[in-house]
Amino acid sequence: MSYSELTASMFSFWRNLNIPRAVSGTAADLFFLPRQTSALYPNRKCSGKRYNVPPSAEFVARETADGLDAAFIGVPIDTGTSNRPGARFGPRQIRVESAMLRSYNSGTRAAPYESLMVADIGDVNVNVYDLKDTCKRIREAYRKILATGCIPLTMGGDHTIAYPILQAVAEKHGPVGLIHVDAHADTSDVVLGEKIGHGTPFRRCVEEGLLDCKRVVQIGLRGSGYSADSYEWSRAQGFRVIQAEECWFKSLAPVMAEVRGQMGSGPVYLSFDIDALDPGFAPGTGTPEIAGLTPIQGVEIIRGCRGLNLVGCDLVEVSPPYDTSGNTALTGANLLFEMLCVLPKMKYY
């Protein structure tokens, strides 16, 4: 087995990636690093020196999406969180845990790496000192990614990132349908006096006309709110709101059949906050709420998106410090894999 075959089998999300490996931060990467030669990686963007020089930790943006049908992208911020931080480490941990994923989906028989050109293109070069500047950087990065025709599969990062991503998505596709899976509506006007944060992205999206509000569904909402009916505003915009209570003890396959009808053939964006799942399954997140969805229901939602015109997906709010087992990030990696497996043009073996 060659080095490249070995690493491809070890790191599912790193497949086809022409970047230095040291930045992923595993012992295996560091161990293998001195063995890499330009002969094995003729196209890699190295330093041009005899020995590989990893990119500066100050600038983490790495690869373009040219030639890709779909790409995993990290957006490592938590400066939009209102309480417990840590989501900036989400992409890193999801990548590490993605080493446990294999190439085929035995449940749906999807063969993603035989259907689409897919790669992990690294992280958006965010500014963790300045959330508004970060939003600008995300928007510009996604404009470039979307311009190539690539479908972004984003690893968050806190939920703030959905706002600039959807700005870029709507610029390309017009107002999109949204399947928003979350414990929270994220439609507050302000949180802590600020308009931009992880509790406000979808309010900003509506204000800017980025969403086709009759084609928006929010699934899994629950917990305590700031007002008697926190979700009144969502419903007033025309969103369909499916509380977690409506999901308890049920398969979500029938609901997703309705959602597919609601979405029709227009462009759809899927935004999945890991806190939609019950914290018993996914404790590694900043704002857990009890009595949430099961991983089975999460998978049912994603598999229920098969056939839709998905133009982008994200999995946000994984905060590894709150689950040092890595299992929340592993669940996130699996959900991202499921998203990949329902993208348009997927072949099933």
Judged by the rule CB under 5 A, the positions of this chain that interact with Mn ion are: 159, 182, 186, 273
CB 316 within 8 Å of CB 157: yes
What does the alpha-carbon distance between residue 179 and residue 157 come to, in Å, rounded to a whole number?
A: 18
| Least CB distance to Mn ion at residue 186 (A) | 4
Flag whether 158 is marked binding.
Answer: no
What does the alpha-carbon distance between residue 133 and residue 26 come to, in Å, rounded to a whole number?
A: 30
What does the alpha-carbon distance between residue 324 and residue 305 come to, in Å, rounded to a whole number?
A: 31
Strands 267-273, 240-243: pairing is unpaired
Of 80 and 122, which has the nearer Cβ to Mn ion?
Answer: 80
- DSSP 8-state secondary structure symbol assigned to residue 348: B
| Least CB distance to Mn ion at residue 162 (A) | 8
3-class secondary-structure state, position 21: coil
Rounded to the nearest 10 degrees, the angle between the axes of helix 295-303 and helix 327-340 is 20
DSSP secondary structure string for all residues of 113-176: HHHS-EEEEEE----TT-HHHHHHHHHHHHHHHHHTTPEEEEEES-GGGHHHHHHHHHHHHSSE
| Least CB distance to Mn ion at residue 317 (A) | 6
Pair of tokens at residue 211: 């969403």
Of 123 and 273, which has the nearer Cβ to Mn ion?
Answer: 273
Flag whether 173 is marked binding.
Answer: no
Of 137 and 159, which has the nearer Cβ to Mn ion?
Answer: 159
| Least CB distance to Mn ion at residue 244 (A) | 13
Pair of tokens at residue 250: 């049920």
3-class secondary-structure state, position 98: helix
User: From the CA atom positions of the chain, what is the Rg in Å?
Assistant: 19
Which of these, 142, 143, 137, 144, lies nearest to 153 by C-alpha position? 142
3-class secondary-structure state, position 91: helix
| Least CB distance to Mn ion at residue 92 (A) | 20
In the block, which residue shows the tokens 């890709």? 68
Flag whether 69 is marked binding.
Answer: no
Of 110 and 191, which has the nearer Cβ to Mn ion?
Answer: 191
Q: In what order do the strands lie in the sheet with 70-75?
A: 118-123, 70-75, 151-156, 309-316, 267-273, 176-181, 211-221, 240-243
Of 36 and 234, which has the nearer Cβ to Mn ion?
Answer: 234
Of 119 and 316, which has the nearer Cβ to Mn ion?
Answer: 316
Of 29 and 182, which has the nearer Cβ to Mn ion?
Answer: 182
Of 92 and 159, which has the nearer Cβ to Mn ion?
Answer: 159
Report the number of secondary-structure helices (H) and strands (E) in the chain.
11, 8
| Least CB distance to Mn ion at residue 14 (A) | 27
Flag whether 182 is marked binding.
Answer: yes
| Least CB distance to Mn ion at residue 202 (A) | 9
Flag whether 180 is marked binding.
Answer: no
| Least CB distance to Mn ion at residue 135 (A) | 16
Flag whether 123 is marked binding.
Answer: no
Specify binding-site residues for Mn(2+): 159, 182, 184, 186, 273, 275
Specify binding-site residues: 159, 182, 184, 186, 273, 275
